[in-house]
Structure 1
């Protein structure tokens, strides 16, 4: 019986070693100290912040485009600029989280976006809605990848599951409904009524009825 107990203890010890997560924890007398973290998780967060900035910049460009007096779709412009603020807010939230976990923020986080990729780009109303939907789906997928990388860092996974993924799913659902509603309105008015369909739909977006 004693021998069997020793074997069980040995097996449990082996499993705990082979299945252990590699946490980076500093034990010393100096300050500041880094909070324990999983490098794979924090690296994924660092990399993902760039995607949030990219989405924010693109939303800002699109929002400014539809806000021009020559386009004059203030409802869609308002929606897109609010989406830009949300994506930028996610990036800031992630940077704050890295600070919370004691991760060094320095010039190695070289976030940038090439504005030349957006110059000269124009969108129809429907194209903009569908582009926004595709962006939300893409960012949601990328956030799920971050959560997967943080599977052994439970706090990291939890923070990015809620509220960030909740907001992403809500955004996807809202845009799917908006695309469907616009297509229905356009189908009812026909091609000659495109401008009227956009105007009516934009009024609904401005009043946040969608």
Structure 2
């Protein structure tokens, strides 16, 4: 009886499915060729709307890696002998490392879902930044007088942009139209990114507000020094 049920289930599986791994392997096993892989295109980890969402996930991974270098440049700028702000250097190095790790993890996630990574698939805003040059988006360096206060506001804007991109990906993955909906991608973005960006945005907003109030004193240079000491201590 059990054997009959199993046989019936397999038969139904073969008849009802047009694009299944079982059907591919069955066809390949019955062919004269001994090369099974080319004849089994559906034996992969893809399901849901990964094909629809893959380009956007690739763009976000590239965005994370790119912004990681932005924060690394900011960290290096405040770590030189001229600025000598070890607290700001530590803060931006931490953000840089976090974004780099997030980008690598997202690339691994694409592989888990059966997708692939395209390092040339950049989001439009990064392409526009590169095309418009340094005039539109200056980089930290000798020609960019980046103060501690301005750097916090720049960091806050960058993190808000990244948080907004997560919302866009979640919105598209939660589109309940055929071929677009993917609950697992939406869940993954919530679990790995939403809370993290919320906390970072909150911290940077607090830093910006507190330093702004500290600068509104008779000795602004002392205020910046004390603020950097707080960042360096890791207790703030």
- For the aligned pair, the TM-score class normalised by the smaller chain equals 0.7 to 0.9
Which residue in the other structure is 1:17 paired with? none
Alpha-carbon distance between aligned partners in 2 of 1:93 and 1:158, rounded to the nearest angstrom: 15
Note if contact 2:87-2:231 (Cα within 8 Å) is conserved in structure 1.
yes
Deviation at 1:104, TM superposition (A): 2.8
Alpha-carbon distance between aligned partners in 1 of 2:116 and 2:159, rounded to the nearest angstrom: 29
TM-score (norm 2): 0.70
2:78 maps to 1:66:
yes
2:217 maps to 1:207:
no
Which residue in the other structure is 2:220 paired with? 194
2:193 to 164, 168, 171: 164
CA deviations on 1:63-101 (whole Å, 9 max, x unpaired) are 000000110000011000100011111111110100100
2:76 maps to 1:53:
no
2:147 to 124, 149, 158: 124
SS at match of 1:37: coil
Q: Stretches of 4+ moved more than 4 A in 1?
A: 111-117
Alpha-carbon distance between aligned partners in 1 of 2:100 and 2:92, rounded to the nearest angstrom: 12
The runs of 5 or more residues in structure 1 that have no matched partner are 1-24
Note if contact 1:182-1:201 (Cα within 8 Å) is conserved in structure 2.
yes
Note if contact 1:60-1:84 (Cα within 8 Å) is conserved in structure 2.
yes
Q: 1:127 to 1:26 in 2, by over 3 A?
A: farther
The runs of 5 or more residues in structure 2 that have no matched partner are 1-18, 26-36, 175-180
Note if contact 1:26-1:34 (Cα within 8 Å) is conserved in structure 2.
no
2:77 maps to 1:37:
no
Q: 1:88 to 1:126 in 2, by over 3 A?
A: same
Alpha-carbon distance between aligned partners in 2 of 1:179 and 1:56, rounded to the nearest angstrom: 20
Note if contact 1:56-1:83 (Cα within 8 Å) is conserved in structure 2.
yes
Note if contact 2:156-2:204 (Cα within 8 Å) is conserved in structure 1.
yes
Q: 1:91 to 1:137 in 2, by over 3 A?
A: same
Q: 1:111 to 1:194 in 2, by over 3 A?
A: farther
Task: Tell me whether 111-120 or 200-209 shows the greater mean CA deviation.
Answer: 111-120
Alpha-carbon distance between aligned partners in 2 of 1:124 and 1:183, rounded to the nearest angstrom: 12
TM-score (norm 1): 0.79
Which residue in the other structure is 1:83 paired with? 95
Note if contact 2:45-2:112 (Cα within 8 Å) is conserved in structure 1.
no
Which residue in the other structure is 2:8 paired with? none
SS at match of 2:210: helix
* Structure with greater Cα Rg: 2
Alpha-carbon distance between aligned partners in 2 of 1:26 and 1:131, rounded to the nearest angstrom: 49
SS at match of 2:184: helix
